[in-house]
Amino acid sequence: MFPTQFTGASFTWEQQELGAVVEFYSGLTYKPENVVQNGTLVIRSSNIHNNQYINADNVYVKNNIVNSEYVQEQDIVVVVRNGSRNLIGKHALLKSIPHDPSVIGAFMTGIRSLNNQFIEAVLNTEKFKREINKNLGATINQITTSQFKKMKFNFPKREEDKQIGILFNYLDDTIQLHENYLQLLYNFRSFLLQKMFSINDTFPNLRFKQFNDKWKYKKLGEVADIVSGGTPDTTKRDYWNGSINWYTPAEVGNKIFVGGSQRKITNIGLENSSAKILPVGTVLFTSRAGIGKTAILKEKGSTNQGFQSIVPKKKSLDSYFIFSMSNILKKYGESHGAGSTFLEISGKELAKARISLPSITEQKNISKVLFKLDTIITLQKQEIDNLKKLKQFLLQNMFI
């Protein structure tokens, strides 16, 4: 059997039980009275996220009660028992020891081999997920060590598995570096929002040199029109499948700009409902069941009744500026919403939101900075998505 291989590789992959190529070790069982502030770290399911070790709800036990194997660098730790079936098989390659000393908990198993980078790649395949589902108990969410050892996978010769392991380790490191950079960008954006926006004062901490006027408090309704939406009768065929964009809350929140809705309505549908045409630059604002998701219209459109959209008055409010204040408006909406079935903020109430604003010229200058940064963030997210797709493609095509 031959998968996609490195140039020059001509080895047939052979099927073997996992227990024939790796060593397994069990975790530590401990009692509540064994837990201390600082001692031996017990790695548990909560410490594994996105195939990496994280510090989360760390547990330490007395050093003298440890009777299990200590983890080593390059070990793989795997969740083999958990209250949630979806977490069985969650794993991480320990590129460094998180705490000296460290062990795994009783609901984990440890894996050690000559090339754990390759084994880690094997555990990321769909084949491993199928093996997990095949072996899960009917009533207990558990994979036993015996079952784990008997799982069969195809393995290449030593030299090829080394190359594959190095490749996936490089990919994982690259993805992690990009994700770290993305987090730095998010942190920088938060810093700018805190420093460039005047929330509780009339002067922000960070400004362009040419601006020194006080920011003025305005009610949102003074600088924008608040427009609700509606839904045409779904039983009238001539109201639907037209050319007018018609958004629902599910379509908003993941992108800055939206320019094409999943469903569209006709002019007749618009005229016979409370939906209204919103101009380009309108900031869509969800008003119920998840208040405060936003997006900017880059094409005119309409919405259902789950919105109180913000239509800026051009001489008073910049679209991107008010979009950048989404978190402030979200908090306002959540604290001023009403309803017994679900929380909802009315257009009348949203219009009362008190915001601090500079001149329209300063707003546009701030918006330019944030737009450039948001563009970089979007490109960075796309780069990470592309790397993850590449990894998934290789996992599907390099393993048989």
Q: Is 183 left (phi over 0), alpha (psi -120 to 50) or beta?
A: alpha
Domains contained in the chain, CATH given: 14-155 (3.90.220.20), 216-355 (3.90.220.20)
Quote the pLDDT of residue 95.
92
* Beta bridge pairs of residue 225: 311
Give the model's pLDDT for residue 12. 78
Output the pLDDT for position 9: 53
Q: What is the pLDDT of residue 201?
A: 66
Torsion of CA 268, 270, 273, 276, to 10 degrees: -160
Question: Using CA atoms, how far apart are residues 284 and 182, in angstroms rounded to an integer?
Answer: 26
**Crossing angle of helices 158-196 and 360-398, rounded to 10°:** 170
30-58 tens-digit pLDDT: 999 999 999 999 999 999 999 999 998 99
The pLDDT value given to residue 159: 82
Give me the pLDDT at residue 203, please. 84
Contact predicate 297/318, CB 8 Å: no
R_g (Cα) of the chain, nearest Å: 28
Residue 130's pLDDT is 93
Reported as a single tens digit per residue, the pLDDT across 255-308 is: 999 999 999 999 999 999 999 999 999 999 999 978 999 999 999 999 999 999
Burial-class residue 155 by CB neighbours within 10 Å (0-12, 13-18, 19+).
buried
pTM: 0.77
Residue type, 169: N
| Ranges under pLDDT 70 in the chain | 1-11, 199-201, 400
Tell me the C-alpha distance between 308 and 346, whole Å. Answer: 7
Spell 117-143 as b/e; 16+ CB within 10 A means b.
bbbbbbbbbebbeebbeebbeeeebeb
pLDDT of residue 3: 54
